[in-house]
């Protein structure tokens, strides 16, 4: 077997999950391999060397794994943004549309101070709805989005274009055509 040279080499594709016709990009195989996971975190961090970042925000749920590791490497705080009803303190919330309805994301109202510079981290950028809702929450608290970083981008689903239209700087490690 050839050595794995790229983050994409560690990501498994599962056809027809969770529905027929979907090609699910499974990053758990990346997380479980120490070399792959280290490569991933190093590559997520590289564009931000020397930049002021006060906190890393991770999006539920795989963004917690990545965001925690990135925050650790940057020696900054980590903030989770979760689905409604999962955070114990006072929160603010933001609704967003899904292809089959609506959902709500929440953040603790004291998680980000005005003027803090924020890096948003998640595993995958698809339609961009979750990330857009999260950005709105961060901005409502006065945070300044430095960038949003992802392991995988699925450009055909429009998330990249959606976030770029909001003026968000984006970084991703690999992309897949044909979601």
Residue 22 belongs to a domain: no
Give the model's pLDDT for residue 119: 98
Residue 62: active-site member = yes
Q: By 3-state DSSP, what share of the chain in percent is helix, strand and coil, each rounded to 5?
A: 30, 35, 35
Active-site residue (options: 25, 35, 82, 99): 99
61 CA to centre of own chain: 9
Active-site residue (options: 62, 82, 132, 160): 62
In total, how many domains does the chain have?
1
Residue 18 belongs to a domain: no
CA dist., res. 132 & res. 165, Å (int) = 11
Residue 102: active-site member = no
Q: What is the pTM of this model?
A: 0.95
Residue 36 belongs to a domain: no
Walking along the chain (179 residues) 10 residues at a time, the average pLDDT comes out as 85 94 95 97 96 98 98 98 97 89 95 98 96 98 98 96 98 89
- CATH at 87: 3.40.50.2020
Residue 149 belongs to a domain: yes
Residue 152 belongs to a domain: yes
Q: Residue 64: which domain range?
A: 49-175
Residue whose C-alpha is closest to residue 47's, from 172, 163, 154? 172
Residue 26 belongs to a domain: no
Residue 3 belongs to a domain: no
């Amino acid at each position: 077997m050839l050595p794995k040279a790229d983050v994409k080499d560690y990501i498994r594709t599962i056809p027809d999950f969770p529905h027929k016709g979907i090609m699910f990009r499974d990053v758990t195989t990346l997380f479980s391999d120490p070399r792959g996971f280290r490569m991933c975190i190093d590559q997520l961090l590289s564009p931000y060397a020397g930049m002021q970042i006060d906190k890393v925000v991770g999006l539920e749920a795989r963004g917690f794994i990545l965001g925690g590791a990135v925050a650790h490497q940057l020696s900054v705080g980590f903030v989770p943004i979760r689905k409604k009803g999962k955070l114990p303190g006072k929160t603010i919330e933001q609704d967003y549309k899904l292809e089959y309805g609506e959902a709500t994301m929440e953040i603790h109202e004291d998680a980000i101070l005005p003027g803090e510079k924020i890096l948003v981290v998640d595993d995958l950028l698809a339609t961009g709805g979750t990330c857009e809702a999260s950005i709105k929450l961060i901005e409502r608290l006065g945070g300044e989005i430095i960038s949003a970083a992802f392991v995988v981008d699925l450009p055909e689903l429009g998330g990249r274009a959606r976030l770029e239209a909001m003026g968000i700087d984006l970084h991703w490690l690999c992309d897949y055509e044909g979601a």
